[in-house]
Amino acid sequence: MSKLFGIGVGPGDPQLLTVKAIETIKLLDVLYTPTARNNKPSTAFRIADQYIPKEIDVKKRKFPMTNNWHEKRKSWNLIAQEMVTDVKQGKNVGFLTLGDPSVYSTFSYIQELVDDQIKIEIIAGISSFSQIAAISKMPLMLDDESLIVVPANTKQVHLEQLIEIGENIVVMKVAINYPKLFAFLKDSALLDQAYLISNASMETEQVINLQDCDGTEDLPYFTTMLIKKEGKDK
């Protein structure tokens, strides 16, 4: 039975796709992908490129990068209905997402728009925060500790509350709110326990030493912070 597949391709290294993701890509008749700037393939497409069969029907579509919710929703709905048509014609349709389709992904919205019309399957992927823990060799959590993952563009008061209550905190897309976040960590004496990584597992991966920073640095879009408030030894 044909389906729409949301496929996580992991954080950047093509070896971080799962066997299931690769096997699923091989089953596809159609692959929808956002057109990136200059008509280049999207980041997710480039990561999975070597696993994508040459004969697959790649449909490039425009996913607007705008804060206008209604405009975005309208575009997504048009693409989603195209996908429904394809699946109803017996085609296996795929959509690739960077990282994990369940973590801050456009696929979640597409899924919501079509899940009463066609079958959907989600193929989990390695999230950037898992990879950041692997690179930095800092466990995300141990014993009875919690992990909190929050994007830097959440309300500042909520962000501060979560950092105060949590033991291990991942702040995603730090660049958006970096000066405020830096100031808060400095005031809370947490700078020594915070680690910054940009573009984890991509060719442009970069570990940034916060001790050399003053909060005015221009950070890449995919920069993530891991704050570990507990010492390793308990």
* Options 33, 43, 92, 111; binder of its own copies; rule CB under 8 A: 111
CB of 207 to its own copies, least distance (A): 15
Sheet holding 120-123, edge to edge: 57-61, 30-34, 93-97, 4-8, 120-123
87 binds its own copies (CB under 8 A): no
Q: Is there binding between residue 109 and its own copies (CB under 8 A)?
A: yes
| 138 belongs to the binding site for its own copies (CB under 8 A) | yes
Q: Per CB under 8 A, does 84 bind its own copies?
A: no
Which of 159, 137, 136, 132 minimizes the C-alpha distance to 148?
A: 159
Residues 31-60 that bind its own copies (CB under 8 A): none
Based on CB atoms, which residue is closest to its own copies, 60 or 108? Answer: 108
Rounded CA separation 133/128 (Å): 9
Pairwise CA distance, residues 52 & 25, whole Å = 6
23 binds its own copies (CB under 8 A): yes
Per the CB < 8 A criterion, the answer to whether 59 and 82 are in contact is yes
Q: Among 1, 15, 116, 216, indicate the residue that binds its own copies (CB under 8 A).
A: 15
Residue of 25, 87, 123, 197 interacting with its own copies (CB under 8 A): 123
Verify binding: residue 103, its own copies, rule CB under 8 A: yes
Q: Is 149 in the site for its own copies (CB under 8 A)?
A: yes
Torsion of CA 106, 63, 222, 166, to 10 degrees: -30
- Binding residue (CB under 8 A) for its own copies from 55, 116, 143, 214: 143
Q: Does 148 bind its own copies (CB under 8 A)?
A: yes
Question: Residue 144 is encoded by which pair of tokens?
Answer: 């009875």
194 binds its own copies, rule: CB under 8 A: no
Q: Which is nearer to its own copies, 152 or 210 (CB)?
A: 152
Residue 161 interacting with its own copies (CB under 8 A): yes
- What tokens were used for 71? 């405009």
DSSP at 41: B
Beta bridge partners of 171: 150, 225
Contact 190, 151 (CB under 8 A): no
Instruction: State the minimum distance, in angstroms, from the CB of residue 113 to its own copies.
Output: 11
DSSP string, 69-94: HHHHHHHHHHHHHHHHHHHHTT--EE
Which spans of this chain sit near its own copies (rule: CB under 8 A)?
8, 10, 13-20, 22-23, 100-105, 108-109, 111-112, 115, 120, 122-127, 130-131, 133-135, 137-151, 153-155, 158, 161-162, 165-166, 232
